[in-house]
Structure 1
Amino acid sequence: MRILGLDPGLATLGYGCIEVQGNTCQVCDFGVITTPADTAVGDRLRSLYNDLHTLIPALQPDWVALERLFFYKMSHTIVVAQARGVILLVLSQLQCPLMEFTPPQVKQALTGYGNAAKIAVQQAVQRELQLPQLPRPDDAADALAIALTAGRYADTINR
Structure 2
Amino acid sequence: MQNGRFLVLQLSPSFLPALIVLGVDPSSTSTGYGLVKSHQRKYHYLECGCIRAPTGMSFEDRLVFMHDQLGEIIASTSPQQAAIESTFFGKDANATARLGEARGVLVLAARKAGLPIAHYAPAEVKKAVVGRGQATKEQVQFMIKRLLGLKEVPRPLDASDALAIALCHLHQPDFNAHQVGRPRKPEIEALLQRVKRR
- Give the 3-state SS of the residue equivalent to 1:124 in structure 2: helix
8 Å contact kept, 2:20–2:35: yes
1:141 paired with 2:141, answer no
For 2:64, the equivalent position in structure 1 comes to: 46
8 Å contact kept, 2:111–2:117: no
Identity, in percent, stands at 33
Number of residue equivalences: 159
| Mapped partners of 1:157, 1:71: distance in 2 | 30
Name which one, 1 or 2, has greater alpha-carbon Rg. 2
CA RMSD of aligned residues (A): 1.4
| Mapped partners of 2:121, 2:80: distance in 1 | 21
| Mapped partners of 2:40, 2:84: distance in 1 | 22
Q: Aligned AA for 1:119?
A: E
1:15 paired with 2:33, answer yes
- Give the 3-state SS of the residue equivalent to 2:108 in structure 1: helix
Q: How does the TM-score come out when normalised to structure 1?
A: 0.94
Which structure 1 segments of 5+ residues have no match? none
Summarize the alignment of residues 70-149 of structure 1 with structure 2, pairs less than 5 Å apart. Answer: 70-72=88-90, 73-149=92-168
Q: Aligned AA for 1:135?
A: P
- Give the 3-state SS of the residue equivalent to 1:79 in structure 2: helix
Q: How does the TM-score come out when normalised to structure 2?
A: 0.76
Q: Deviations over 1:132-158 (max 9, x none)?
A: 111101100000000111121384242
Greater RCO, 1 or 2 (C-alpha within 8 Å, sep 6+): 1
For 1:156, the equivalent position in structure 2 comes to: 176
| Mapped partners of 2:67, 2:137: distance in 1 | 28
| Mapped partners of 2:60, 2:75: distance in 1 | 23
